[in-house]
Each structure stands twice: as structure tokens, then as C-alpha cells.
């Protein structure tokens, strides 16, 4: 169905992002009394249009100083719905538009559609608040368009939705293709966007574990995604930290011994560092950015753990033949954590992967130099891209003076399905579906021979 010209009242001259940003503070003082939608709108614009920020940072920037936690939670649900259902939402709206409105108006429409079709918001409330959101953000001339599109979506959206291939629409084409070529099942992976992943926590040895969790391995427990972590007994005392089960495997498989000198080369936010300390290692934790090192320090302080903290590029440190073991959880596209961070589906681009591959190889070469003879190195990435994972491991084991040290079923008896023929670990978000899944990780281990 096509909107009438009356309903589709475009501005003669588009409002640029630059002008919208410059007037943002003036508009803010005159906004309606609806912080939830405003927070969601500001966050989505920062992710996609203004700064291409990750969800966590964009949301933090968008929050008012005196935000109510209920408004924050409601805004987060709305933002995540947009990130998970972006392709579907755009396909739903497209038949009702002759031409594309300014991008910010498109977000307002998609936010309204998400509320109507996926978040069970009453239609009248979703339409009214969307119209007001447009008005209070400088898009008053588009309120007729917002109103008309949302009314038609409320009438026709459910029937259109039945004919859409949502799984295909919600995964960017380049990712769908690469996952398919890697032998994964992109359709199965896409279905995981429909549910909120559970919350995994790693507990200190002898810590009292709060009720309501399910033990996954050793000190690792899984809780409902609705658990409020900071309210759990033991949080303030530093008895545990949040860490997906797959993210805990690299440090676990490094198998650190008491008093070994260990380097965590890309350490923030600190979950793996904490594991290495808990295992008895004398840990040197390295971070390139001061803001990330600060976060690492704060997390270790809460956990009452100590490590030598180094601010610097892990690829050019002043170490040589010094460490018994190294964990290189390298910077990557992070496509394996799309369930928890659906923003990565949209922030990462295909042409960025090769730049990441170069960085990873620089770090691999440097890490080998930091190891003692006989020292071991675990390389890991939270990526589903073969070029960052399996192909890097092939490169790694062909370097002079390096020998692959395959993992065995005995080392990971609780997750043998993740063990590859080469002796690497490849976890997928679709594994352990009956338990709530896990993040996608690749892990390989090597030994320095000379």
C-alpha cells in the first residue's frame, strides 16, 4: 500500500545530521515526557548515523543523569529489538514509502513498528509517542508520515510479517554468505536473535553461589537473563564476575600452573585475567587504550585481585623470552557474540576484516617472541570468520620455531562437540541450545620450540 501525497509531506530541504546535532541540546529542553523512546532514539542514531558507536557506549551517552532504571531497561529492550530485527522492520515499512525520509525519521518509524509488532505496546500508545518523538526532535513536518505509516503497519503488518523470511533479512548478506561458506548454518544462527541469552558467571573458588543458577563447569554457573547481577550476594565483595562459558575457555585451556609468569595481551575487561590470577599465575595484563586499562583495573579492584598492568601496544612490548604462557585473545570482528551484542551485525563491515587479520598476525608474531622456549600460547577470537580464526591458526603453526599443541577430549570432556579434527576449539552460538547456547569462539594452542 502506498501513502497519499497528503500523508507523505516531505520537507523540501532535508535536515542534515550536522544541523540536527548542533540543535540537539536546544531540542532536549523542550522534549516530551517520554524518556524511554528518547533514549532509544538517541542511542540508535549514535550507533548507525552519528558516531557508529557500540551499543554499550551509545546507550551510556544517551542516558539522562537522573534516569529511572525502569526507563533505561525499557529503552534497552527497544534498542535491542531494532538491532535484532532491523532487516525485518525495514522490509515491513518499505511498501508504505514512495521515497526515503531523513534517516532519523526512519528510525522513529522503525521504533514505532518494533513496539507494535514485537514488544506488545498498545497501538495507540506506540503511534502517539512516535509522533511526539518526531515533533520534539525537530521533525514536526514528518509527523503525518509517521502517523500514517504506523497506522497502516498496525493494520497490515501482521499479515506481511508471515510472508517475510525474517532469519534471512536480519543477518547482513556478507555475514550470511561467509558463515555458509564456513560450513555453519546461518539460518540456525539467525534464529538465536529471537531470544535473550542467559547470564553466565565465574565464581571464585570456595565462594558461596547464589541460588537459582545451573552449574556448567567447575566454578561457572548460568542464571536467567533477568537476574540483576549487582543485587546478588557476593557481587560487591568481588566473589564473581560475568563471563560467557565460551569466553572462559581460552584461559581455562591455557592451564596455568602456580607461579608461572603469564601475559594476557589484550586483557580488558578482565574476566580472563581474573581466571589466570585465580589459577595461580603471576599475571602481566596489557591494554592499548587507557580507558580500557582503567576498566580492567576497576574490575580487578572489585575482585580484590592483583596483576601487573601495562598500558601499551601488545604487538611491540619490551619483552623477550620471558613468559611461561601467553593468552592472546586478539581484537576481532566479534561476530561470535552477536546474541549478546547484536550491534556487531551492523557495525562490522566486510572490508574491515583484512585489517583485523593484519593486526592479529602482528600480535601473533610478537607473542612468540615474548615466550620462553617451551612456553605455550593460546590464541583466541570471538569471531565466526574463518580468516580471523582457522586461517590464522594455519598461519600460526607454519611459523618457524612454533609447534601446534592440539587440544584433546580429555581436556574438554564437557564440550567435545567443539573439538575440531585439527585439535582446535570452535564453539558456535547454536551449541548447548537446550541450556541456552553460548558465544562463538575459536581457540588454538601452540608451543615455542626455540
State the DSSP code for 344: H
For residues 58 and 46, give the distance between their C-alpha atoms in angstroms, rounded to a whole number.
6
Q: How far is CA 175 from the centre of its chain?
A: 15
* Rounded (10°) angle between helices 123-135 and 35-45: 60
User: Buried (b) or exposed (e) across 419-450, using 16+ Cβ within 10 A?
Assistant: beeeebbbbbbbbbeeebbbbbbbbbbbebee
Q: At what angle do helices 69-93 and 143-162 cross, to 10 degrees?
A: 70
**Nearest residue to 185 (alpha-carbon basis) of 440, 424, 365:** 440
Cis amide prior to 377 (ω within 30 degrees): no
Active site residue 382: yes
Residue 136, φ and ψ in degrees, nearest 5 = -85, 0
Among residues 447, 434, 438, the alpha carbon closest in space to that of 382 is found at 438
| 92: alpha, beta or left? (left if phi > 0; alpha if psi -120 to 50) | alpha
Q: Is 272 annotated as a binding residue?
A: yes
268 annotated as belonging to a binding site for a ligand? yes
The answer to whether 269 is a known ligand-binding residue is: yes
Rounded Cα gap, residues 54 and 348, in angstroms: 10
Residue pair 404/444 in contact by the 8 Å Cβ criterion: yes
Distance (Å, rounded) from C-alpha 228 to C-alpha 271?
Answer: 19
271 is in an annotated binding site: yes
Select which of 45, 81, 332, 382 is catalytic.
Answer: 382
In 3-state terms, the chain is what percent helix, strand and coil (to 5)? 50, 15, 35
Does 120 count as an annotated binding residue?
no
Known binding residue 287? Answer is yes
∠ Cα 246 403 366 (to 5°) = 75
Residue 437 annotated as part of some ligand binding site: no
Q: How many CB atoms lie within 10 A of CB 225?
A: 12
Q: What are the backbone dihedrals phi and psi of residue 440, each rounded to the nearest 5 degrees, phi first?
A: -90, 120
Catalytic positions are 382
Binding residue numbers = 266-272, 287, 313, 329
Binding residue numbers for S-adenosyl-L-methionine = 266-272, 287, 313, 329
Amino acid at each position: 500500500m502506498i501513502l497519499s501525497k497528503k500523508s507523505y509531506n516531505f520537507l523540501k530541504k532535508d535536515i542534515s545530521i550536522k544541523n540536527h546535532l548542533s540543535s540537539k541540546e536546544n531540542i532536549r529542553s523542550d522534549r516530551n515526557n517520554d524518556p524511554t523512546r528518547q533514549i532509544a532514539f538517541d542511542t540508535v542514531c549514535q550507533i548507525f548515523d552519528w558516531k557508529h558507536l557500540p551499543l554499550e557506549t551509545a546507550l551510556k551517552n544517551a542516558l539522562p543523569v537522573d534516569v529511572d532504571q525502569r526507563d533505561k531497561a525499557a529503552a534497552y529492550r527497544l534498542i535491542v529489538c531494532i538491532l535484532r530485527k532491523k532487516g525485518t522492520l525495514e522490509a515491513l515499512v518499505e511498501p508504505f514509502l514512495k521515497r526515503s525520509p531523513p534517516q532519523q525519521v526512519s528510525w522513529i518509524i522503525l521504533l514505532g513498528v518494533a513496539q507494535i509488532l514485537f514488544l506488545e505496546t498498545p497501538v495507540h500508545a506506540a503511534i502517539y509517542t512516535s509522533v511526539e518523538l518526531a515533533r520534539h526532535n525537530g521533525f514536526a513536518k514528518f509527523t503525518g508520515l509517521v502517523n500514517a505509516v504506523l497506522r497502516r503497519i498496525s493494520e497490515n503488518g501482521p499479515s506481511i510479517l508471515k510472508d517475510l523470511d525474517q532469519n534471512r533479512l536480519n543477518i547482513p548478506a556478507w555475514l550470511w554468505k561467509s558463515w555458509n561458506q564456513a560450513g555453519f548454518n546461518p539460518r540456525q544462527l539467525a534464529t538465536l536473535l529471537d531470544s535473550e541469552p542467559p547470564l553466565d558467571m565465574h565464581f571464585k573458588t570456595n565462594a558461596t553461589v547464589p541460588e537459582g543458577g545451573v552449574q556448567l563447569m567447575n566454578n561457572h554457573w548460568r542464571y536467567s537473563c533477568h537476574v540483576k547481577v549487582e543485587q546478588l550476594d557476593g557481587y560487591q565483595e568481588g566473589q564473581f564476575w560475568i563471563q560467557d562459558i565460551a569466553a572462559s575457555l581460552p584461559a581455562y585451556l591455557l592451564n596455568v600452573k602456580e607461579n608461572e609468569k603469564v601475559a594476557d595481551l589484550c586483557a580488558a575487561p578482565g574476566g580472563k585475567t581474573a581466571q589466570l590470577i585465580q589459577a595461580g599465575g603471576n599475571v602481566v595484563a596489557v591494554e592499548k587504550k587507557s580507558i580500557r586499562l582503567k576498566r580492567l583495573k576497576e574490575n580487578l579492584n572489585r575482585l580484590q585481585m592483583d596483576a601487573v598492568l601495562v598500558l601499551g601496544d601488545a604487538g611491540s612490548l619490551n619483552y623477550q623470552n620471558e613468559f611461561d604462557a601467553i593468552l592472546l585473545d586478539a581484537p576481532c570482528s566479534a561476530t561470535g557474540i552477536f546474541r549478546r551484542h547484536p550491534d556487531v551485525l551492523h557495525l562490522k563491515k566486510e572490508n574491515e576484516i583484512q585489517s583485523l587479520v593484519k593486526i592479529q598476525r602482528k600480535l601473533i608474531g610478537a607473542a612468540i617472541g615474548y615466550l620462553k622456549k617451551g612456553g605455550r600460547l593460546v590464541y583466541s577470537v570471538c569471531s565466526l570468520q574463518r580468516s580471523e580464526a582457522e586461517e590464522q591458526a594455519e598461519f600460526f603453526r607454519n611459523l618457524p620455531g612454533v609447534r601446534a599443541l592440539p587440544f584433546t577430549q580429555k581436556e574438554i570432556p564437557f564440550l567435545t562437540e567443539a573439538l575440531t579434527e585439527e585439535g582446535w576449539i570452535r564453539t558456535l552460538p547454536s551449541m548447548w541450545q537446550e541450556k541456552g547456547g553460548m558465544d562463538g569462539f575459536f581457540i588454538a594452542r601452540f608451543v615455542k620450540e626455540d
